């Protein structure tokens, strides 16, 4: 059974955080999360991430304008655990083994000041270093450390675009090219 991991993004300010929130979603997707819940109303973020998913593959979803406390409590009531990424928590290396054991994990990523109740509701408050830094970096490091397989090489199903690793330059295969190549190979 595949782990279920979702990211709950708190505190998105549309005028300031649209790129960072988009990057949180794209990082979550690229590192193997199933979806992202956005505790703010920004349909454009949802649309942008869903468009990227349709082009680059996978089944990542985004739910817009969720109520954070309700989602956390519902997740826990359904047997899931909650990890809040914060520079004030226990150090990530001390939490990795517990986080890896979870079959359903919600990772909370904040932006502006996170309400105190989140620190109480979370099963773990986890620090990716005890210094201020990017929430995108914290999410990427956490997802990489708890992954069952290497998230940097995982394939994405139904991709319209696929990057071919090259030492120089860049190469992207479009789905129609791949289909044509497969036809001529048979």
Could you read off the pLDDT of 8-43 as tens digits, one per residue? 999 766 666 778 899 999 999 999 999 999 998 889
By DSSP bridging, strand 124-127 and strand 81-91 are parallel
- Provide the 8-state DSSP code for 166: -
Contacts of 46 (CB under 8 A, 6+ apart): 38, 62, 63, 64
The whole model's pTM is what? 0.89
Three-state DSSP state, 60? coil
pLDDT of residue 127: 94
Name the CATH superfamily housing domain 4-154: SPOUT methyltransferase, trefoil knot domain (3.40.1280.10)
Q: Give CA–CA dist 145/28, Å, rounded.
A: 13
Q: Where are the domains of the chain?
A: 4-154, 158-186
**Which residues partner with 172 through β-bridges?**
163
Handedness of CA 113, 114, 117, 120 (dihedral sign): negative
116-134 mean pLDDT: 91
């Amino acid at each position: 059974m595949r782990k279920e991991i979702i990211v709950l993004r708190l505190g998105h300010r549309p005028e300031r955080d649209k790129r960072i929130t988009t990057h949180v979603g794209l990082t979550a997707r690229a590192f193997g999360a199933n979806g992202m819940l956005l505790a703010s109303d920004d349909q454009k973020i949802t649309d942008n991430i869903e468009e990227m998913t349709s082009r680059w593959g996978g089944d990542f979803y985004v739910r817009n304008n969720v109520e954070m406390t309700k989602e956390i409590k519902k997740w826990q009531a359904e047997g899931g655990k909650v990890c809040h990424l914060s520079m004030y928590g226990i150090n990530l290396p001390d939490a990795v083994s517990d986080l890896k054991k979870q079959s359903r994990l919600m990772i909370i990523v904040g932006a502006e000041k996170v309400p105190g109740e989140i620190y109480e509701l979370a099963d773990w408050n986890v620090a990716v270093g005890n210094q201020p830094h990017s929430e995108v970096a914290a999410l990427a490091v956490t997802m990489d450390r708890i992954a069952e397989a290497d998230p940097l090489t995982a394939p994405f199903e139904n991709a319209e675009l696929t990057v071919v690793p090259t030492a120089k330059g860049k190469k992207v295969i479009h789905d129609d090219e791949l289909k044509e190549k497969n036809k001529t190979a048979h």
